[in-house]
Amino acid sequence: MGRPMQVSRYWRHFREKYRLIGGKCENGHVFFPKRPVCPVCGSRNVEEFEFSGRGKVITWTIVRNPPSGFEYYKPYPIALIQLEEGPVVLAQLTDVEPDEIHEGMEVEMVTRKIREFEEDGIILYGYKFRPKLK
C-alpha cells in the first residue's frame, strides 16, 4: 500500500476535503475544484465558493476490483453527481445499497473515512455522498 500524503499537504487541503470548496469567477461561473483560471471564460479573478453539498446522481458504477489500499471496501459504488449549483463531481456513495441507486436520486455530501494506513495509524477523511435524508 502506498504511503499517505504528507501531513502538511493534507492540512493544506483540509477545507476542500471536509467541505465542497470550489471557485466562482467575476462572471458568475462556478466550478469544482477551485483553480486559478475559470475553465469557462478564462477569467483570473476567482474567489472561493462553497457548494451546498446537495445534488443528483447522473450515473454510477460498482467498483469490484479497487486500487491498492482500498480492497477492504470492495465492492463500493461511485457516481457522477451533478451539484445543485451546476458542476459535476465524482464521489463514492455511502449509506446505500447498490440496488437502491438510481438516476436522478437526490444525494447530500457527508464526511466519511476514505482510507486508513494501519502501519502509521493515519486515517484520512473526505467527502462522500449519501441519499438525501427526508
List per-residue pLDDT tens for the chain, 134 residues long.
Answer: 445 555 555 555 656 667 889 999 999 999 998 899 999 999 999 999 999 999 999 999 999 998 877 777 788 999 999 999 999 999 999 999 999 999 999 999 998 887 777 666 677 778 899 999 87
Burial class for 43, CB neighbours closer than 10 Å (0-12, 13-18, 19+): middle
30-31, strands of its sheet edge to edge: 30-31, 21-25, 46-50
The answer to pTM > 0.85 is no
Is residue 53 helix, strand or coil? coil
Going from N- to C-terminal start, the domains of the chain cover 7-131
CB 29 within 8 A of CB 44: no
Q: How many CB atoms lie within 10 A of CB 36?
A: 7
